[in-house]
Amino acid sequence: MRDRRMSMLVLAVAALLWLTTGTRVLASAQVVVPPGWSQSSGAVPEAQRRAQRWHEALGLHLVQVASAQDHGFAETAAVFERLEPVPERAFASEAVAVATLADVVAPLVGTESPSQSGMRVLDSGAQVAWAQWTVDDMSIECVLAPSGDTASVVVFAVLSRDAPHHRATIDKMIASLEGVSAPMPRFSLESWRIGSIVVWLLLAGLLHALMLAFVDRERDHKQAGQRAAAILLGVVAIGTLASVAILRPRELALVHADSSVSSLAVWIGVSGLIVAGLHFMFASRFDYGVVRSAPASGAFASGSYSSSMIRASLSRTGAQPRMEDIAAASDVWPMSDEMRGNPNQNQNARPPGDSSGRPPGGGQPS
């Protein structure tokens, strides 16, 4: 039995480690370069210089540069990485998302409102904020894309007079952006930690109350608490594994909160074990309850009694205890058949006669 329990414990730990290990490596968004465009070192020098100026103005990390073939003006697409995630509240509405994008690219387009803006749905199903400005003779389109625990800013530049000609190409490049994720959801690490403790305490109290209905003695909190603590251990194991499945989709939010799925799952499991252990320890300090069949009054009314209690009760009333009653009340005083037949008989009894020891018939004692 002990080996079986140890095997089950090892399997449970292995399952927990398998569920809580492994992290996803996420990078910034990437533009899928269409036919007729080149990227990185293949981009035309004019596009590379333009992207470098944008990099200096925005103060963001330049990740990718792509450009069309040089026909007098190099149509340019550049991807920048912002080292902070797009919070969920930033995409709460279209107006808020566009305002967030405008604040980020203000060094490029100024403080003027965009001529066009909105939310775009990509081929992957993710959403991005999009806006278009006209700066001098250029049409500049900007995209703010969540990309895990970072944000990606994509900037397109074409001549204003050629914008309708490049409309379909730019729309396709936006729709096919790779590495775009959902905005970072808000995650309260303190709420989860405190909430897990509260849940374990409530479950311990509920199980204790339920076990009181199945104990051998009325109000036997000791037995009920010990049973509740044992059941709670199993609930803690199941609850810890369930929490891993719940937390896995929010792994990035946990990482952004300086935690991880494994560390929070361990917190939840250990807090449950501590609650179960404390519940068992406190329950063990209670006395056993009242026997359910105990009489309403008398020496046995308490439902918990011993031979010493019986002797104390009889001494107060002045009654002489009967050996049959004592033997029925306690199994620590065995009675022989001889004592059961004549309770007053013992090996040192005097022979028949009066109290002075004279033999029957009036003779003199020898």
Q: CA–CA separation, 132 vs 116, rounded Å?
A: 5
Neighbours of 353 (CB within 10 A): 13
Structure confidence by residue, pLDDT tens digits, 75-85: 999 999 998 88
The alpha carbon of residue 301 and the mean position of all alpha carbons in its chain are separated, in whole angstroms, by 48
Give the model's pLDDT for residue 323. Answer: 60
**Half-sphere exposure of residue 353, counting CA atoms within 13 Å on the CB side?**
14
The alpha carbon of residue 231 and the mean position of all alpha carbons in its chain are separated, in whole angstroms, by 19
For residue 264, is pLDDT > 50?
A: yes
Give the best-scoring range by mean pLDDT among 101-105, 216-220, 313-317: 101-105
37-175: which CATH topology?
Protein Transport Mog1p; Chain A (3.40.1000)
Strands 76-82 and 150-159: antiparallel
Q: What CA dihedral angle connects 259, 261, 267 and 270, to 10 degrees? A: -150
What percent of the chain clears pLDDT 70, i.e. is strictly above it? 70
For residue 170, is pLDDT > 80?
A: yes
- Quick one: three-class SS letters along 180-204? CCCCECCCCHHHHHHHHHHHHHHHH
For residue 178, is pLDDT > 80?
A: yes
Whether residue 170 contacts residue 155, with contact meaning beta carbons closer than 8 Å, is answered with: no
For residue 37, is pLDDT > 80?
A: yes
Once rounded to an integer, what is the mean pLDDT over residues 149-169?
93
As annotated, the residues of the chain forming the CATH 3.40.1000 domain(s) are: 37-175
Q: CA–CA separation, 34 vs 195, rounded Å?
A: 50
**DSSP-H helix ranges across 59-188:** 94-104, 106-109, 163-175
Q: CA–CA separation, 271 vs 196, rounded Å?
A: 7
Structure confidence by residue, pLDDT tens digits, 235-259: 999 999 999 999 988 887 787 777 8
116: left (phi over 0), alpha (psi -120 to 50) or beta: beta
Q: How much is the pTM?
A: 0.56
